[in-house]
Amino acid sequence: MDEALIRQWEKLEPAVTGFSPKRKKSLEENLMARDKEPADSLLIPAMIDHTLLNPLSAAADVISLCEEAQARRFGAVCLYPCWIPKALEIRQRGEHRFAVAVVIDFPAGGESTKVRIQSVCEAFRDGADEVDIVLPLSRFFSGYDQDVLEDLISIKENASGIVKVILELSALNPEQKRKAALLAFLSGADFLKTSTGVNGKAAAEDVRLLKTVAGIECGIKAAGGIRTRADAEKMIRAGATRIGTSSGPHLLE
């Protein structure tokens, strides 16, 4: 039981509305649950989101990434939206159907809700299976909790596939981390994701925080600075169910 997280929820609950009663019930059950034993740390290919978010990357890099995902049977590739058609083309050639995930409003989370929804809908229309969307950070830092929650709820309601919310925990203080996790979970997100990797690395203690909030209701994606099998297994023991990394093949060596 995380007393600080419970206090954060008691403070936040009266200030926000619009979330589903089911998520609220799950959250309160998760917060009161006893600490569980560490998860099995076995890393399997299906847990890996093979990632290419270098703004200087070219089509050849995307092809290589997707071919590696095919060969290694990774769970997903994670790319910029402009590469959806290329990823689908390569997936069509092989036997393994990896998911196509794309980042939205990355890495700053500074677009309006209208633009964010449009971008999410366009990505799914183009064939993406999943979106990784950044928390609206400027609004979050301004204390606009209801606005942040409504933004995330609207995105989830308009999405036709899996939504992962990137919380950028490496840039937040402990209180902000707790609040961000609570808001993202209440929005109905399918996954809570630690960070973009731009402002710092994933941390096992942050993964544990997300797992405490989410329980088994939604997945946990650890991303940022995960370069080795040991890095990945540390995150899995903390509760991660997905690993975002540009070093996928190396993790399995």
C-alpha–C-alpha distance, residues 199 and 124, integer Å: 27
The single residue of 156, 177, 179, 221 carrying the catalytic annotation is: 221
C-alpha–C-alpha distance, residues 44 and 150, integer Å: 35
Catalytic annotation present for 221: yes
Catalytic annotation present for 132: yes
The single residue of 132, 151, 206, 231 carrying the catalytic annotation is: 132
Encoding tokens for residue 58?
Answer: 């070219």
**All residues at 6 or more sequence positions from 70 whose CB lies less than 8 Å from its CB, including other chains:** 90, 91, 93, 94, 95, 96, 98
Catalytic annotation present for 193: yes
- Residue 243's Cβ-side half-sphere holds a number of Cα atoms within 13 Å equal to 32
In the 3-class helix/strand/coil scheme, how is 65-129 assigned residue by residue?
HHHHHHHHCCCEEEECHHHHHHHHHHHHHCCCCCEEEEEECCCCCCCCHHHHHHHHHHHHHCCCC
Q: Are 224 and 196 in contact (CB under 8 A)?
A: yes
The single residue of 193, 211, 231, 234 carrying the catalytic annotation is: 193
Catalytic residues, by residue number, are 132, 193, 221
